[in-house]
Amino acid sequence: MQIRRAQPADNPRILDFLAQHAMQGALPLRFDRAPDYFALHRCHAADHRTWLAEGEGGDMKGIASLVVRDGYLMERVQPVAYLGDLRLVPDRILSRAWMEEVRARLAGLEHDAGVHHAYCCMIRDNRLAAQSLLGSRRADRLALSHWRGYSNVSVYGRRGWRGAARTAGSIRVVQAQPHHADALRHFLDAESARQPFGCVFSEAEFGRRLQTWPDFGIGSFLLALDARGNLHGCVAPWDAGRIKRIVLERFPPSIQAIRLAYNALAPAFGRPRIAAPGEPLQDIYLTHLQVRQRDPAVFAALLDAAWAGLRSRYALMQLCLYDNDPLWPAMAPYRLTRLPMDLYTLSGTRNAPAVDPASAAPIPGFEIYLV
């Protein structure tokens, strides 16, 4: 077996490998990244590295990626890494070699780019991944530390189907215009700076996202403004379908029952149907969700505005809410499903400075749509 850096020419093999190896759990899923596996990484950051494990015959046995960007951590800006797309065929020897390789790559990032800390996510009931990454007692295992639990929330309906939009005092929700760009960037950066691993929204980074993300721009943002025009929250619905689609391999009986009942009624209410197992979901992400002081009333106004604009075109709205998140009460009028997930942090080497538990306590700077 050999482990090597992936090249653009490996794209078809990577896509095929991901199609055959879904993430396991009660709701097995995979990401369809055709036509370009690397496109999502480029949305995340310019510095991304992917490694492949190959058997003697050249067949793929595993994949992992690291994306490096600037982030806010322990009250300063520093390079951080996201560890993703970790897939392995079941093989104890391969698993040991693979974990050693990941550790070596993290140590290399620490030496070459000053990356001391990385983070990753895992489906909570993915027993195979949990055993591989968390259950090992080997001295050289990855030093993963639990960071925060969250739910991948899929909104598929509203109780009563056509509820009135909620308001938050003098707050009004508007679509962003070019003249909002500077204030919006400052707001995003200020909120992100309070979140461990939060993205640094420099002028260059914000401009890069607006210019290079497919089907995305300043007009994607919904802004919550007070009477003086001050920003209190924002969200940017983004259809990532050109570079990433979620495919559920099978549904548990309870969710399958919801899908069938929903689909029977959807045409009468002008709603798209929820895809069957094995088909890409017709969904849209609520990205760049930031609300000052995590105010659920402001979030409710943004959520209702997004729903009103999207309900006729998308079967699902996807977003991330954390365990004990103050925003949860705003979800009460909506019908939704939750996929429990967990975030973990890990360090490049055992000599890396530990993440201060207090600094990791606030809402994470984590963007599920870039996973």
pLDDT tens by residue, the chain, 371 residues? 788 999 999 999 999 999 998 887 778 889 999 999 999 999 999 999 999 999 888 899 999 999 999 999 988 999 999 999 988 887 777 777 777 887 888 888 888 889 999 999 999 987 766 666 665 555 556 778 899 999 999 999 998 755 667 877 889 999 999 999 999 999 999 999 999 999 999 999 999 999 999 999 999 999 999 999 999 999 999 999 999 999 999 888 998 999 999 999 999 989 999 999 999 999 999 999 999 999 999 999 999 999 999 999 999 999 999 999 999 999 999 999 999 999 999 876 656 666 776 666 789 999 999 99
Report if pTM > 0.85: yes
Check: CB of residue 91 under 8 Å from CB of residue 70.
no
Residue 281's identity, in one-letter code, is L
How far is residue 312's CA from residue 270's CA, in Å, rounded to a whole number? Answer: 6
β-bridge partners, 49: 66
How many domains does one find in the chain? 1
Q: Look up the domain containing 67 and give its range.
A: 1-371
Residue 313 DSSP SS3: coil
Helix or strand run (H / E) with residue 17: helix 11-20
- B/e letters for 167-183, b = 16+ CB within 10 Å, e = fewer, are ebeebebeebeeebbee
- CATH number of residue 289's parent domain: 3.40.630.170
- Residues whose CB is less than 8 angstroms from the CB of residue 212 and which lie 6 or more positions away in sequence, other chains included: 42, 43
Q: What is the pLDDT of residue 168?
A: 79
